[in-house]
Structure 1
């Protein structure tokens, strides 16, 4: 979350009527302009939301083995079908600027306007609040939201002691799993801090986050056997 508690970025969920009307307009408009490829791309992102086509979801399912599921408010995310409709090619590292419980509470608050996919606690527990297939409002930039997975870390950017060994190791395993799932390179071009997202005023994860150590741990986890995480 970084310096502010809200990070609205203009994301809005499309209703059924908007889907039909918008889809028709896209087809007609692009036919006139001769850009049918753009229309196909946009409609390809929306077809699964038609009545009777939307993919079933398992309540409480997690994408990272051993993670605890606590659902964020639906107001703080946009349902999607990633990576089929939006390519995932980034992991964005955040710091909560508060405790674990306060982060969970604000992500469950529909008035907050933001949520990350995961929260990693100081003791290394991983909580998932948004499915990776959905767009979480965490980056403060719509394009980056659509193409990334956001991971919050309990603590404060100005407090080096926030970033414990257990946190680094658990987060590295999580990021390694995400990178492996979507073919994301393990480098600083694709694993970035919230501070690096264009158009935002956040400073997290801050100067005390050890990027060199973190990338070493992620690379090591990518080649190590998968181990189930502890339940919260």
Structure 2
């Protein structure tokens, strides 16, 4: 019986190795994604720093970004080792699909400030800061559930002191999520979960 399980496991591993890299990349990491609703779309290992958070670096913030790009292109940028950028999550506009690109224990390169990178979870949102039509109800709702889950797991208050925009990171030259991001609505949704 044990030998048959080992052989079956080897067969599954061998079969998976025959799949194209694009399909294999979609398999969740060991232990699954950190957020139960996320799909795994891994960033290049060249675009983040392996770590053992929260023991090595306590998590104190969730940083909200707008990608200035489409969902698919954002993931492609994170998967390109030459880009030197990543975020933990990307949220799609149309249906709110959540992609996880970097494990939360690791340090994504999203804030433009090393101290904030080490102490935060970064969430990118598909769209552009000057095109509010990208900020759909589905995006707000799924992103808020993700943020609430992160806050619950790291014991963070669900407030604007701990859920901040990229523009609020010290030294940031970014404007995202921009003037069209509805913070009142977002924080209310985070607190409803």
**Is the Cα contact below 8 Å between 2:47 and 2:78 reproduced in 1?**
yes
TM-score by length of 1: 0.70
What corresponds to 2:17 in structure 1? none
2:102 and 2:175 mapped to 1: Cα distance?
23
SS of structure 2 residue aligned to 1:105: helix
What corresponds to 1:147 in structure 2? 119
Deviations 1:199-232 (A, max 9, x none): 12110000000000000000001xxxxxxxxxxx
Question: Is 1:129–2:90 an aligned residue pair?
Answer: no
**Is the Cα contact below 8 Å between 1:60 and 1:69 reproduced in 2?**
no
The runs of 4+ residues in structure 1 deviating greater than 3 Å are 57-60
What corresponds to 1:95 in structure 2? 66
SS of structure 2 residue aligned to 1:95: coil
Q: CA deviation at 1:160?
A: 1.0
SS of structure 2 residue aligned to 1:82: coil
What corresponds to 1:201 in structure 2? 173
2:82 and 2:173 mapped to 1: Cα distance?
20
Question: Is 1:77–2:31 an aligned residue pair?
Answer: no
Q: CA deviation at 1:66?
A: 2.3
Q: CA deviation at 1:60?
A: 7.4
**Is the Cα contact below 8 Å between 2:110 and 2:117 reproduced in 1?**
yes
**Is the Cα contact below 8 Å between 1:90 and 1:149 reproduced in 2?**
yes
What corresponds to 2:158 in structure 1? 186
What corresponds to 1:109 in structure 2? 80
2:31 and 2:154 mapped to 1: Cα distance?
22
**Is the Cα contact below 8 Å between 2:29 and 2:40 reproduced in 1?**
no
Deviations 1:80-125 (A, max 9, x none): 0100010001000000101111101000011111100000001110
2:29 and 2:123 mapped to 1: Cα distance?
22
What corresponds to 2:110 in structure 1? 138
Deviations 1:151-189 (A, max 9, x none): 000001001111000000000000000000000111111
The alpha-carbon distance between structure 1 residues 219 and 100, as it changes in their structure 2 partners (threshold 3 A), is same
SS of structure 1 residue aligned to 2:65: strand
SS of structure 2 residue aligned to 1:75: helix
Question: Is 1:164–2:136 an aligned residue pair?
Answer: yes
1:60 and 1:187 mapped to 2: Cα distance?
29
Structure 1 vs Structure 2 CA RMSD: 1.2
